[in-house]
Amino acid sequence: MMQFLQNLGASTRTSFTKLGRATYFLIQTLAGIFSILIRPRLLMNQMFSVGVLSFLIITISGLFVGMVLGLQGFYILSDFGAEESLGIMVAASLVRELGPVVTALLFAGRAGSALTAEIGLMKATEQLSGMEMMAIDPIRRIITPRFLAGFLSMPLLAALFSAVGIIGGQLIGTGLLGVDDGAYWAQMQTQLDFYDDIINGVIKSVIFGFVTSWIALFEGYDAIPTSEGVSRATTRTVVNSAFSILGLDFILTALMFGDN
Amino acid sequence: MDNSDSSQNTLVSVRNLTFSRGNNKIFNDISLDFERGKITAIMGPSGTGKTTLLKLIGGQLYPEKGIITVDGENVHRLRRKELYELRKRMGMLFQSGALLTDMNVYDNVAFPLREHTHLTESMIRSLVLMKLQAVGLRGASLLMPNELSGGMARRVALARAIALDPMMILYDEPFTGQDPISMGVLVLLIKALNETLGLTSIIVSHDVCIFIIQPKTMWMIYYPLENGIEVMLGYAIANPTYAEQNFS
Ligand SMILES: Nc1ncnc2c1ncn2[C@@H]1O[C@H](COP(=O)(O)OP(=O)(O)OP(=O)(O)O)[C@@H](O)[C@H]1O
Ligand SMILES: [Mg+2]
């Protein structure tokens, strides 16, 4: 019993010190934002490797998710004779939920794990210490641009995901299952609310972008500088990001759509 | 009087330094000096704390007790900005080289220049090629770090360390993995940097090559006890002719 309490205390303390380190890390990262604005090139390069290189996986996944929504939505709605509402059903599911959430999950797997591995290996090969000794702050030079890039790419990728998904739903709905093309788009236009749906979706993906980039970069920066340490950190990035995304999604949804 | 004189000649002074890694006490109350404009060697078996000492001097690790001053400034009391200013005047050659793996040799050497100066690209180019020439790697400027051998990587790292013309260089094992020719190049370079530019050099090495350089002072780090808990440091060979008699 005593042993159990001791272990519990020790692990609680470890988690809290880690949380403290993570917060300090975040503050330092944010403090570097100004210096990035002077050198937008650093940000551009990272936007490319974090954002642009995730395009393909996001587009393909968005297309398939949209197509599945089209199929499932049609079967349910046609029971009520409401096939015309397929457009709004697909669009609302994507913009409110699936766009931000699935994009963030894919992002954590594709870009987040890569960021952790990159930073962890830079630490393991002393590149970060080397930079410090050259009087260059690795947080400003390496971490902040990657953080900003992740944070800014996420809403764009989520918008891409939703847009492609809506087209996927249309391909199936109107192309294959014979829903009226005009109704698909018209219902969407009239029913989808700019603030309630679109802005809330964007807010979600901005928050997910913030959290996933933070987790990925911190896990890399805090990794034990060995191959095993980096591999564990990469796993933790994907697992912790997924938990945070899904947990936060529930909270945000409750806050945003709770009063409807 | 004596005091001011010694601080004139001492660039780095370590006073009563105590440092532990976990329960392992690596330094226990050691004091040593490194003279300005001279070459000082640090020798000792693997794992005694030579790299650790360099990292303490560079301000990357914090001592438990004791004071380390570089050029009159207490390294561990400086504000972050002042520490970075001081580091601009220190070069450090890491044991592993620590090159940035996402850029080629040329960009690695140009990196500190681009970060810290406002030189034009053509000036940077001539400086970089000059430094690469000095380490005998001008022809390798377009290679990526993963295409270099360990010895080449360390020489590129040296070119990068001298890019900003520092007042002092800390070398961590510069000679390991070098063939006799490039070892000779390095020995001559380290000596030339010291003699022509008056650079203070602190060299960690257990290669006999260190004797050809004829360091002014040599510090040994060793375990005095069999079980190796306590580490003593500070056995100096203050007589440079010692090396000459034996090795030239
Ligand atoms: N990050 C670390 N965490 C814990 N202990 C460490 C760490 N780095 C080094 N040590 C310990 O500190 C001691 C000194 O290490 P250091 O790297 O300074 O040795 P060294 O004298 O440079 O050896 P070598 O000649 O092999 O490079 C070693 O016993 C090592 O076990
Ligand atoms: Mg070492």
Domain boundary assignment for chain A: 43-255
Ligand (nearest to CA of B171): 2
Mutate to test the pocket of ligand 1, among B18, B21, B221, B222 (most ligand atoms within 8 A of CB): B21
pLDDT per position as a tens digit, A164-219: 999 999 999 888 888 888 888 888 888 888 888 889 999 999 999 999 999 999 99
pLDDT per position as a tens digit, B184-216: 888 888 888 888 888 899 999 877 777 777 777
Give the pLDDT of residue B222.
63
Are B92 and A125 inside 8 Å of each other by CB?
Answer: no
Asked which of A146-155, A229-238, B21-30, B60-69 is least confident by mean pLDDT, the reply is B21-30
Tokens representing B149 are 């051998």
CA of B230 to the centre of ligand 1 (A): 14
Cα B179 to Cα A60, A109, B48, B99: the distances in Å are 53, 44, 26, 20
Model pTM score: 0.86
B60, B80 contact by CB (below 8 A): no
Cα A48 to Cα A83, A138, A172, B122: the distances in Å are 40, 20, 32, 28
3-state secondary structure of B88: helix
Mutant choice from B84, B154, B162 vs A, greatest count of A C-beta within 10 A? B84
Q: Residue B120: which pLDDT band, with cuts at 50, 70 and 90? A: very high
pLDDT per position as a tens digit, A47-62: 998 888 888 999 999 9
pLDDT of B238 over the 50 cut: no
In single-letter form, the type of residue at position A99 comes to G
Angle at A18 between CA A229 and CA A103, to 5 degrees: 75
CA of B26 to the centre of ligand 1 (A): 9
CA of A22 to the centre of ligand 1 (A): 26
Angle at A79 between CA A74 and CA A82, to 5 degrees: 65
pLDDT along chain A (260 residues), means of 10: 85 88 91 85 88 90 94 89 86 92 94 94 92 92 93 93 94 87 86 84 94 96 94 95 95 80
Q: Pick from B167, B202, B203: which is nearest to B85 by CA?
A: B167
Evaluated on CA atoms B194, B195, B197, B200, the torsion sign reads: positive
Mean pLDDT of B136-159: 88
Cα B224 to Cα B15, B19, B28, B40, B44: the distances in Å are 20, 17, 12, 22, 12
Are A133 and B60 inside 8 Å of each other by CB?
Answer: yes
Q: Pick from B52, B61, B111, B73: which is nearest to B233 by CA?
A: B52
B11, B34 contact by CB (below 8 A): yes
Give the pLDDT of residue B33.
84
| C-alpha to C-alpha distance for A241 and A25, rounded to whole angstroms | 17
On whether ipTM exceeds 0.90, the answer is: no
Q: Show which of residues 80-139 on chain A sit within 8 Å of chain B, judged by CB atoms.
A: 121-122, 125-127, 129-137
Give the pLDDT of residue A178.
83
| b/e map B145-170, b = 16+ CB within 10 Å | beebeebbbbbbbbbbbbbbebbbbb
Mutate to test the pocket of ligand 1, among B19, B42, B51 (most ligand atoms within 8 A of CB): B51
Q: Return the residue matching tokens 């591999």.
A: A231
Ligand (nearest to CA of B93): 2
Angle at B11 between CA B9 and CA B15, to 5 degrees: 105
Are B87 and A130 inside 8 Å of each other by CB?
Answer: no
Are A130 and B115 inside 8 Å of each other by CB?
Answer: no
A62, A164 contact by CB (below 8 A): yes
Q: Chain A: nearest CA to B92, how far in angstroms? A: 7
Q: Chain A: nearest CA to B245, how far in angstroms? A: 37
Q: Chain B: nearest CA to A137, how far in angstroms? A: 9
